[in-house]
Amino acid sequence: MGILQVNDVNKRFGGLQALNNVTLDIEEGSVHAIIGPNGAGKSTLLNCFVGRLVPDTGTVMFNGKSLLGIKPYEINQIGVSRVFQTPEIFEELSLLENVMIPAFAHRDGAFRINAWASVGSEGEVRDRALHVLDDVGLVDKKDMIAGSLSRGDKRRLELAMCLVQDPQLLLLDEPTAGMSRADTNNTIDLLKKIGERGITKIVIEHDMHVVFSLAHKITVLAQGTVIAEGLPDDIKGDPRVQEAYLGGAHL
């Protein structure tokens, strides 16, 4: 039984069937990529895992517990963290402060902006934040203002903000979007390093170099429907995937 089990999930926006009987089983400790053309339903699916959307029908179970109807911060509290397509950071605060805030939120329950008031008095949280900044290669920039970082570094910072919460399941929505090839390769290395800790990861990604560098298993969505699932080598050679994803070009 996987750490995340998704069964027959359907989601409709007006006349559009965005998700159509989606079933997934995510193995604990694995990197599971979800790929598919624009508008396939990938982000909609992820939103159903973090409480931003509620499926019309179907179930989403994390460690045997339903995630449906649970508030986003509670889902976060039980071990699911998400890195967004556009980094959600506090631009005007330092890197260290950015990482300490979610550490407090995770420790204290609901996200409390006044948790900020106690930042600085908590050596233990600060040490943990510094440790995570070191893991993502940003500890030397800890006092810089987050808004001044490059796009690649902002995404690393957001990753640190997730890791400090010690997630069991990390959801990565296009973690290398807009990055240079060098930054992309650094991110691949970083995610592999994180993989050594056994954190399960679901990655949505358009860059096939990233997908095939990281994924143990791949699910392909097209028009809200799972059209293929399997090991990277199987997916690479699947003509349905090549047709749906790249209009017949080879992956």
Residue with tokens 């649970």: 70
* 58 near ligand ATP, judged by CB under 6 A: no
Task: Among 3, 22, 31, 36, indicate the residue that binds ligand ATP (CB under 6 A).
Answer: 36
* 167 near ligand ATP, judged by CB under 6 A: no
The CA distance from 79 to 92, in Å, is 27
* 43 near ligand ATP, judged by CB under 6 A: yes
Q: CB of 114: closest distance to ligand ATP in angstroms?
A: 31
Q: CB of 44: closest distance to ligand ATP in angstroms?
A: 3
DSSP the chain: --SEEEEEEEEEETTEEEEEEEEEEEPTT-EEEEE-STTSSHHHHHHHHTTSS--SEEEEEETTEE-TT--HHHHHHTTEEEE-SS----TTSBHHHHHHHHHHHHHHSS--GGGGGGTTS-HHHHHHHHHHHHHTT-GGGTTSBGGGS-HHHHHHHHHHHHHTT--SEEEEESTTTT--HHHHHHHHHHHHHHHTTT-EEEEE-S-HHHHHHH-SEEEEEETTEEEEEE-HHHHHT-HHHHHHHHTT---
The CA distance from 20 to 145, in Å, is 43
* 39 near ligand ATP, judged by CB under 6 A: yes
Task: Among 8, 13, 178, 231, indicate the residue that binds ligand ATP (CB under 6 A).
Answer: 13
* 152 near ligand ATP, judged by CB under 6 A: no
* 51 near ligand ATP, judged by CB under 6 A: no
Q: 42 or 106: whose CB is closer to ligand ATP? A: 42
* 42 near ligand ATP, judged by CB under 6 A: yes
* 38 near ligand ATP, judged by CB under 6 A: yes
The sign of the CA dihedral 100, 102, 103, 107 is: positive
* 176 near ligand ATP, judged by CB under 6 A: no
129 neighbors 143 (Cβ within 8 angstroms)? no
Q: CB of 101: closest distance to ligand ATP in angstroms?
A: 27
Which span (37-45, 86-94, 112-120, 237-245) binds ligand ATP, by CB under 6 A?
Answer: 37-45
Q: CB of 13: closest distance to ligand ATP in angstroms?
A: 3
Which span (35-43, 130-138, 177-185, 229-237) binds ligand ATP, by CB under 6 A?
Answer: 35-43
* 18 near ligand ATP, judged by CB under 6 A: yes
Q: CB of 178: closest distance to ligand ATP in angstroms?
A: 13
Q: 18 or 214: whose CB is closer to ligand ATP? A: 18
Tell me which residues touch ligand ATP (CB under 6 A).
13, 16, 18, 36, 38-44
